[in-house]
Structure 1
Amino acid sequence: MSVLNRSRVACQRLCGIVLLLSMTITSQAEDYPNIIIIYADDLGFGDLSCYNDKAPYKTPRLDQMAAEGIRFTDAHSPSTICSPSRYGLFSGQQIYRSTGRGGGAFEGPSGPSYLKPGTLTIAQMLKNQGYRTGVFGKWHVGLSWFDKDGKRLDGGFKNSLLIDYEKSTPLIDGPNARGFDESFVTPNCPNTDPLYVYL
């Protein structure tokens, strides 16, 4: 099994978002490194054995990735909660300064996305350089869902039952509209918020 395949298996076990920005499709494929960003909820600096030999968990696949790649030892999240921190990763901007919507986490299937149309994302920047891009895991920056009358729905369990999937697809503000070639995501927190589906 290749290092990349072993990495994918390890990444699927993390609760959070995994961005896989893989090999370019241009003729310069060998010149571009693979880029994998693992963005996990509630993971502390000392939780991985590549950063802490006394970590309560052994993470051999992630340790191998760290040994063969670049480790960042002074990186900071733009927020303490999911949606704003993901927005910062995707856009490189502070959510408080650029969206005008505050910085709360989305609940249920609400939207529209924090990523406004025209926002340049990390995926689009890499795609412009010839990379194929993908996102796998929790999206949680908001998606627009519509009911049978075409009305945009807010969050909450009740509204998740009112989604008209035909009127809501293709997603106008999902990953594929934000520079990702491939995506397999949950719209929100799959263990606490309604809309328990992968898209």
Structure 2
Amino acid sequence: SVTPDRAWARVVAQAEDARLEAAARRARRLAERAIAIARRTEGVEASTEGYQTHDRREAGRRTGYRVRYVLRLEAPGAEILGRVLGELTAAGLRIEGLGFSLAPATRARVRRELVTEALRRLREESALVCRALGHERYRILRVELGGAPPPVRPMMMTAVERAAPLPLVPGTRRVEVRARGEVLVGANTGIACRPEGASP
């Protein structure tokens, strides 16, 4: 199991007003403030993910407008993102969802380690079959590697207390690599069927 080292959140800057221009101006100011707060913290990335305008209606009549900026934040760790989200909720933004994932460098490192371990086990089992059949050598003809990357686990949040920081716990994710091979036993040349580390 691997602990995710990246955290993301989707936050909304929303404003309502009887006039569209006023609602858009207030929502934009709130979004700009949110981006400024996020970018004050080293390693936090902020981007605009969406912009929406809706009519506000009562009894079938339009009474005003609702404008929403949807922002996406990414941070190198849950603790850092939790501090930023605490400031944003205090500033009036809403959190619509958050989740955790592995950074590309971490994902690549973990995969290299798992590939090495999977191939070691493939060699061990191939040697076991070779010895059980009474042969001295085997040859691995083909290898297939499989295994899905760990899923991004979203967490939906509909209401958040305005406090800083928010306690975020990423938990762990199971990552696996499977190795399947086609092995020829009894080959004239190839790998000796002795256990790894044994004397020739």
TM range (shorter): under 0.3
Larger Rg: 2
TM-score (norm 2): 0.26
TM superposition score normalised by structure 1: 0.26
Q: Which has the higher relative contact order, 1 or 2, with Cα contacts under 8 A spaced 6 or more apart?
A: 2
